[in-house]
């Protein structure tokens, strides 16, 4: 498996969106719509979108943005993470998150995210994220040492 920086919407990402939707997730379709509309292209300082590839097939995706729900440019948000069911539990999400966090550490003091999935919650907690309660749009956060 290899990671690549994504700078546009490819046929592979569209295929991954169909897999995500069949798995009950619309987040990749949202990513495509926002990218094509120029709303979110992961192109501001500290932002990046990565694809995880098995050969030439994209099997996972995820990125980091300046958090659009915060007024502080030092807060990042993990966005649009999805791994195809056929390759889950093989380290794809961990490799994506390693790179997302590496990029975020260089630009932000904190990264946060939102998930309602118990499986994802356990994954993020195992990566050092703290659960957040009582804040809309934030379920987990991780502070970076300065």
Residues 6+ apart with CB under 8 A from 109: 74, 75, 143, 144, 146
Instruction: Give the number of domains in the chain.
Output: 1
The model's pLDDT over 121-145, given as tens digits with 9 standing for 90+, comes to 999 999 999 999 999 999 999 999 7
Domain range for 74 is: 2-143
Higher pLDDT, 10 or 71: 10
CATH code at position 50: 3.40.630.30
**Confidence grade of residue 2 (pLDDT, cut at 50, 70, 90):** very high
Query: For residues 66-104, b (16+ Cβ closer than 10 Å) or e, as one string?
Result: bbeeeeeeebbbbbbbbbbeebeeeebbebbbebbbebb
What pLDDT shows up at residue 145? 77
Residues 49, 63 contacting (CB under 8 angstroms): yes
The model's pLDDT over 101-116, given as tens digits with 9 standing for 90+, comes to 999 999 999 999 999 9
Question: 82 - beta bridge partners?
Answer: 61
The model's pLDDT over 23-77, given as tens digits with 9 standing for 90+, comes to 999 999 999 999 999 999 999 999 999 999 999 999 999 999 999 999 888 999 9
């Amino acid at each position: 498996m290899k990671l690549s920086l994504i700078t546009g919407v490819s046929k592979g990402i569209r295929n991954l969106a169909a897999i995500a939707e069949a798995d009950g997730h619309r987040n990749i379709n949202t990513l495509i719509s926002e990218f094509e509309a120029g709303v979110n292209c992961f192109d501001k300082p500290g932002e990046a979108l990565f694809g995880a590839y098995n050969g030439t097939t994209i099997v996972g995706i995820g990125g980091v943005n300046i958090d659009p729900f915060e007024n502080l440019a030092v807060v990042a948000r993990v966005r649009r993470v999805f791994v195809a069911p056929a390759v889950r539990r093989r380290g794809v999400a961990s490799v994506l998150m390693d790179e997302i966090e590496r990029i975020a550490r260089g630009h932000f003091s904190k990264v946060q995210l939102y998930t309602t999935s118990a499986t994802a919650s356990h994954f993020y907690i195992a990566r050092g994220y703290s659960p957040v309660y009582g804040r809309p749009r934030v379920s987990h956060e991780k502070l970076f040492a300065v």
